[in-house]
Amino acid sequence: MTDYNNYLKSEFNIDGKVLDLVSRAESSLAERFARIDDTTAICQMKVLKAFQDNHINATHFDWSTGYGYDDAGRDAVERVYSSVFGTEAALVRPNIVNGTHAIASTLLGLLRPGDELIEVTGTPYDTLQTVIGRPDGSAANKRGDGSLLGPDDFKGTIRDYGIIYKEVALGGDLDIDLDAIRKAVTPKTRVVAMQRSTGYDWRPAISLESLKKVNELVHGISKDIIVMLDNCYGEFVGTVEPTEFGVDVMAGSLIKNPGGGLALSGGYIVGRADLIEQISYRLTCPGIGAECGLTFGQNRNVLQGLFLAPKVVNAALKGALLAGSVYSMLGFEVMPSADADRSDIIQAIKFGSAERTVAFCQAVQSASPIDSYVSPMPWDMPGYEDQVVMAAGAFVQGSSIELSADAPLREPYIAYFQGGLTYEHSRFGVIKSLDTLYRKGLVTL
């Protein structure tokens, strides 16, 4: 460690006190890191097996043109995803524009007018609220100036289609509230949706055990109710994926965990074959479904990214643990707490001031390989309620499996730190952020 710390002192001008603190935090994490390595080893073999079982070969890197009929590579990618996630079918496409699109296509593909959708992990991620059409009475049902949203704000949303939307808050322990979920389900309930990761919230990611309990409860009430999961940031954090224990359908983004930093774009939806078929008619159109759609030469990147993903998630998880540990040693509240088990790769840190939050994100940007010399500023982003400051000096625009940090500028000023294609880089993100805050007098050491 000494050579490394000396190098950072001389080449990156990092303060010795910062390096001492980070080194101390890191040594306290050795046992946790070893457990993460065990999980990664299993996930890596699971992915390898999926490649082997599906006879992946170099012709799968080719691609077609036009309609994209019989695109062998596209089919291969989707078979590999099905194997990894233990499902009957998958849609994995570069023209799923992001995670929000994957989740929205799932919901809009499965729900019909008069059906009921129940979100059972509290208020969903900001961009999903604009998909649903902001629930009545929620604070999110207002514009920035405080006026209420009108019918024009709901065009094409879930509510615009006459789908009933309900939300069940998390319990006092910030975990799922099984009693409340049981009471909320009605004969009209078609989809029970869960969000695994934190989003811009202050709660731990929902554990696999809790996701499993909801799945058992809901399927115990009726097998016809579809249990759906927003699995963003959760892939390869555990040795089991939620579809393996019976979640019916699950969606996520390829510029997060499963893309392994190599996928240029895209999303995935995995699940029961009948559900995936319905969703495919929404994603393209009825009659066409999953049979068409060009992959634009992305199959090799998508496959290689998936192959590397367990190791990349390993790096991100260790970086998140280090960030949580360092900032909690400094007295900041962190979520999840430094010693908690993890179910996603996000580390939230409550900075309590806009100045600290923005400085933290700017420091992470300055630690990046791309655009390290620019300083991100808070700005209005489509689908988000408040201004957001985002550090993403990434090879792939907006990729948050790469080292990144972001924060909506609202009380109590929480920054979300995630990613790092290598642990060494994620660790440097933590070091650089602390060095910056220290030099600006925003923390004392």
Chain positions contacting ligand PLP, by CB under 6 A = 98-100, 125, 127, 195, 197, 199, 230, 232-233, 253
Q: Shortest distance, CB of residue 388 to ligand PLP, whole angstroms?
A: 11
Q: Shortest distance, CB of residue 364 to ligand PLP, whole angstroms?
A: 17
Amino acid at 297: G
For the chain, first and last CA: distance in Å? 20
CB nearer to ligand PLP: give 253 or 426: 253
Q: Shortest distance, CB of residue 343 to ligand PLP, whole angstroms?
A: 12
Q: Which residues pair with 250 in a beta bridge?
A: 229, 270
Q: Shortest distance, CB of residue 127 to ligand PLP, whole angstroms?
A: 5
CB nearer to ligand PLP: give 21 or 348: 348
CB nearer to ligand PLP: give 406 or 435: 406
Collapse the DSSP code of 367 into the 3-class scheme (helix H, G, I; strand E, B; otherwise coil) and give the result.
coil
CB nearer to ligand PLP: give 130 or 436: 130
Q: Shortest distance, CB of residue 365 to ligand PLP, whole angstroms?
A: 18
Q: How deeply is 140 buried, as exposed, middle or buried, from its count of CB atoms within 10 A (0-12, 13-18, 19+)?
A: middle
Beta strands 414-418; 347-350: pairing state: antiparallel
CB nearer to ligand PLP: give 165 or 233: 233
Structure tokens at 163: 């789908």
DSSP 330: T
Question: What is the rounded CA–CA span in Å between residue 182 and residue 112?
Answer: 22
For 217, other C-beta atoms within 10 Å of its C-beta total: 18
CB nearer to ligand PLP: give 98 or 243: 98
Q: Shortest distance, CB of residue 80 to ligand PLP, whole angstroms?
A: 21
Vertex 31 angle, CA 438 and 368, to 5°: 40
Collapse the DSSP code of 334 into the 3-class scheme (helix H, G, I; strand E, B; otherwise coil) and give the result.
strand
Alpha helices by DSSP H, listed for 175-272, are 178-184, 208-221
CB nearer to ligand PLP: give 199 or 289: 199
Collapse the DSSP code of 344 into the 3-class scheme (helix H, G, I; strand E, B; otherwise coil) and give the result.
coil
Q: Shortest distance, CB of residue 308 to ligand PLP, whole angstroms?
A: 19
What's the chain's length in residues? 445
CB nearer to ligand PLP: give 199 or 261: 199
Q: What residue number has its CB nearest to ligand PLP?
A: 99
Q: Which residues pair with 349 in a beta bridge?
A: 334, 415
Collapse the DSSP code of 305 into the 3-class scheme (helix H, G, I; strand E, B; otherwise coil) and give the result.
helix
Q: Shortest distance, CB of residue 221 to ligand PLP, whole angstroms?
A: 25
